[in-house]
Structure 1
């Protein structure tokens, strides 16, 4: 009874399930619309490219001259500042102590030079003059004794030994007088010119070391760079304050207490100019032959293809570089090279941010 009715029923259910599964597998899925329609070009023939919004001066990644620990950060993202404004400071305790040491060395060298230039001391001359007078009196005394000994020798009373002894005493007294007069003249002459020159060189060297330490201290204070406005006279030096651009702080990647180094490419602070925005367009190497400088263009933000911004050609950067910004297309390869073209957005009130990606269409109509 079980075999007669149950097994055929199970077979019928399994067969029905297999037919239902095959039917569902062969159904064509309904087309799925993209969440956002891709941007449409207003031109009949176009050269398409991916664009990145950047400031007029490009992104300025501010670094540091020397590595160290950050002492203070003076800015925040979104701040506006002028060229030369302080950005952040590094720990300067060691250089401040070194500056004090070098200032003391400079003052010591300056005091030594002042001492040489003030020579001779008026208090040193009277003892030397008195010594000369004393030497003259001693010479006169020895001369008189020598004359007496010579007369005695001539008269047959004196001895040759006494004569020679007193003659030598006169020579010694005369040499002592010459030495005393020379010491007096040396003191009156003051410092030797070459000694003064050596002291002046020592003062100059110490002052240079002080200035060097001051420069190192200044390097611990990172300031906003001095950048000319587009179209400003590039022959003027120093740059007039009216020709300097105004910056906007785009990014701050440092905090007090953090260690910063001089690693190339390390963007500690990113600055950009306040004003019109540029678009850096990557033209694929396969489309370079169809691109012509001066082509008109439009740009649409990703996710908002209905908004179009007119673009005006600025310049071509004539070096073809590897593509770094990938859009996710199936035809893109990592080894693709692109020609970078700079366009400016004509409108000044565009709701765009630096670093935002745009879909760019360039008019390739003959």
Structure 2
């Protein structure tokens, strides 16, 4: 029916990467994903029985374009690649500002060191000098008790002889009681100094160390996410953000895009009138506007 728009079929052509890349290299630019392309079956100039088609298309990597972002929000501090650069999987292609995260990591590491030292003190118990001091206090208290016992026995004899009054005898007895109480306290203190840590204290110290180490690990992981790595080997097609611009994991705006250009393909729109003249596996030559020299050979991948 007149005036009805013609439908178009999408033609996927696998082309020779070396040849087609050389075409753009000679033009001094990476492939334009929106550039025009035309396809012809056979040779540069179609012979009898060969097909020449002119259609809109674009050149793209054999794989889908991958948009690359960071694992954390922040400001882009550095772009390490430019459009057209080839990268390997795992290469750092951009860096998010890490200054605040580095400070947080240092604080977490200091807290972890403090927790480890506290655990050592608890598991080790008191210092040697503390133990020696406790033993000395016990020895001194024992000497005082021994002297008080001697005085108490002497006071008892003198009381029997009528030389000491009952009140004086009772004072000597009270001195002995006090010295014995002090000896008991000194021995108890020495036992506490030499005692191993309580199970709950040791468990808490271990838990504190583990929690501090987990905070360090989390800070290191966050810091690592600031290094934006290429998820695949390929070519940088486009850089979207520049140093100083903000990246957010909530906003669908990548830092750059990468595609595998080890194999290239042309995605062309074929008019419905020409669909019957094209079939999968057909050999083609691809040309584009402004190209010089022979076309780039390829095959029809699918229609």
TM-score where L is the length of structure 2: 0.66
Question: Within the alignment, does 1:296 sit opposite 2:253 as a pair?
Answer: no
The equivalent of 1:114 in structure 2 is 120
Taking a change above 3 Å as real, the CA distance of residues 70 and 202 of structure 1, as seen in their structure-2 partners, is same
Cα distance, 1:61 vs structure 2: 0.6
The equivalent of 2:91 in structure 1 is 85
Say which is worse superposed, 135-144 or 157-166, in terms of deviation.
157-166
The equivalent of 2:260 in structure 1 is 273
Taking a change above 3 Å as real, the CA distance of residues 171 and 280 of structure 1, as seen in their structure-2 partners, is farther
Taking a change above 3 Å as real, the CA distance of residues 256 and 186 of structure 1, as seen in their structure-2 partners, is same
Question: Within the alignment, does 1:181 sit opposite 2:187 as a pair?
Answer: yes
The equivalent of 2:137 in structure 1 is 131
The equivalent of 1:7 in structure 2 is none
Determine the C-alpha separation between the residues in 1 that align with 2:281 and 2:129: 91
Question: Within the alignment, does 1:253 sit opposite 2:248 as a pair?
Answer: no
Q: 1:143 aligns with which of 144, 149, 167?
A: 149
Question: Within the alignment, does 1:210 sit opposite 2:216 as a pair?
Answer: yes
Taking a change above 3 Å as real, the CA distance of residues 156 and 281 of structure 1, as seen in their structure-2 partners, is farther
Q: Find the residue that maps to 2:84 and give its secondary structure.
A: coil
Determine the C-alpha separation between the residues in 2 that align with 1:86 and 1:174: 75
Report 1:1-366 matches (<5 A).
Answer: 53-154=59-160, 158-189=164-195, 191-226=197-232, 246-278=233-265, 296=280, 309-312=298-301, 343=302, 362=303
Determine the C-alpha separation between the residues in 1 that align with 2:191 and 2:185: 10
The equivalent of 2:7 in structure 1 is none
Determine the C-alpha separation between the residues in 2 that align with 1:279 and 1:175: 99
Task: Count residues with an aligned counterpart.
Answer: 244
TM-score where L is the length of structure 1: 0.56
Query: How much is the aligned-residue C-alpha RMSD, in angstroms?
Result: 3.7
Unaligned runs of 5+ in 1: 1-35, 44-48, 227-245, 288-294, 313-342, 344-361
Determine the C-alpha separation between the residues in 2 that align with 1:125 and 1:197: 24
Taking a change above 3 Å as real, the CA distance of residues 223 and 157 of structure 1, as seen in their structure-2 partners, is same
Cα distance, 1:75 vs structure 2: 0.5
Cα distance, 1:198 vs structure 2: 2.4
Q: Find the residue that maps to 2:257 and give its secondary structure.
A: strand
Q: Which has the larger radius of gyration?
A: 1
